[in-house]
Structure 1
Amino acid sequence: MKPVSHLDSYRRHALAGAPPIPELPDPWEARLARPDGYDLHLVHRWNQAPHVAAFWRQAWPLPRWEEELRTHLDGDDVRPLLISWHGRPVIYTELYRAARDAVAETYRARPHDLGLTVAVGELAMTDRGLVRSLLPRLTDALFEADPHCTRIVMAPDVRNKRAISSFEAGGFVAADEIMLPNRVAVLMVCRR
């Protein structure tokens, strides 16, 4: 009989599936962003907005965004989400498996760790406490949807003080300053 290793449980879950789609409580709702029509144009427009483009650096042409969304939806690494508040889309987020992202080279990522990027699309909707209100609900929903996930990470640009403050107010703790391929970021962690 083969001896049982303490790593057996870890190995069983070493290949985490696609990030789960969270079920959020009212007045919030999350859904996949479609690579056409209204969703595509909204994501494209939001990423052109100066307050988003300055830190996301993804002010790409419409065809590039269509390709990006299709690639995410066809794969298992990233889920592009539109998050609505009282029925109105207000936040674009990308939910990803951190172990399969460049962020994994900056900390000891586990297979079920989730990564999260968050952007409030409309400038008029910023500074209203949306992110700090959403994050505890979103992290609770993600931990519930993936019982093997023990950490959710974010890596905002180190210059984005407003986002870092909102993420801290929403339950994330700054762990370290890290180098990513295109920027210096703050690794922020929310634990189960």
Structure 2
Amino acid sequence: MTTLSRQLPDFYEYNENETQFYLRQMRYPEDMALVHKWMHEPHVIPQWQLNKSELELQVYYEKALADDHHRILIVGVNGQDVGYTEIYEGKRDRLGRYYDGDDTDLGWHLLFGEKSAFGQGYLRPVMRMLGFYIFEHAPSTKIVGEPDHTVKPYAVVVEELCYEAQRLIPMPEKTAKLYYCFKDKFYQKFGGYLTASQQAQKKIQPVAQTEAML
């Protein structure tokens, strides 16, 4: 049986303000050196706690990639891999122990591993991309999130992007704040971004086809 998360495409492109963003399925073991580097970055370690040896990470990702309740994807900007996301099924994830969710709920975790991506204004477009990626390819009516409630800047961004705070959740490693992002409200606010992205891709596609014929 194909699970909800496994129905999502292996590649997704999104354009905003003349910048190309994309999601692609993590390639194992080809991407391990890149992920290993990111997991040892000082800004990543506190939240992800995966600053393990290469062998330990290989074992971790062999298990993770075999788990059919989530997808592991690389985030790219203008052709460069800059980050990493895990998209998971809320009820089948450990989060399912802490909230009464729907079978179609999906959530995500995100990190920017490349320091060159800092301060470029990429967070909001990438979060919009994740929303469209999920809502366009899954029957989900809401996205869930459970970030550490002490990360104050994050709270400002998610509320701006239609994520509504629900309540605090006491988890072993953190006190998380549960968020819901409802599909109808997300499209009411950001549907125009998707239309603009699709139009931008149509303009690019004929050029690519012409080059392929030469």
Query: Which contiguous aligned blocks of 4+ residues in structure 1 show a shift greater than 4 angstroms?
Result: none
Q: Which has the higher helix share?
A: 2
CA distance in 1, matches of 2:101, 2:107: 10
Letter in 2 for 1:23: Y
**Aligned in 2, Cα 1:155/1:28: closer, same or farther, shift over 3 Å?**
same
Distance 1:163 1:46, change over 3 A: farther
Q: Report whether the alignment pairs 1:18 with 2:6.
A: yes
Q: 1:137 to 1:121 in 2, by over 3 A?
A: same
Opposite residue 178 of structure 1, the aligned amino acid is I
Q: How does 1:109-188 map to 2 (within 5 A)?
A: 109-146=101-138, 148-188=139-179
Contact 1:19 1:79 in 2 (8 A): no
8 Å CA contact 1:24, 1:30 repeated in 2: yes
Please report how far the alpha carbon of residue 144 of structure 1 lies from its aligned counterpart in structure 2 after TM superposition: 1.0
Stretches of structure 1 lacking an aligned partner (at least 5 in a row): 1-14
Query: How many residue pairs end up in the alignment?
Result: 176
Tell me how large the CA RMSD over aligned residues is.
Answer: 1.9
TM-aligned CA deviation for residue 31 of structure 1: 0.9
Equivalent of residue 34 in structure 1, options 11, 27, 30: 27
Question: 1: distance between equivalents of 2:101 and 2:6?
Answer: 16
Aligned to 1:8: none
Question: 64, 80, 84: which one pairs with 1:88?
Answer: 80
TM-score, normalising length: structure 1: 0.82
Residues 67-76 or 52-61, more deviating: 67-76
Distance 1:34 1:177, change over 3 A: same
Closer/same/farther in 2, CA of residues 43 and 115 from structure 1, 3 Å limit: same
Contact 2:7 2:137 in 1 (8 A): no
Instruction: Tell me which amino acid in the other structure corresponds to 1:45.
Output: K
Shift of 1:185: 1.3
TM-score, length of structure 2 as denominator length: 0.74
Question: Which deviations, in whole Å up to 9, do the C-alpha atoms of 1:138-171 show, x marking residues without a partner?
Answer: 212211101x211111211222223333333333
Identity of aligned residues (%): 27
Q: Secondary structure at the match of 1:23?
A: strand
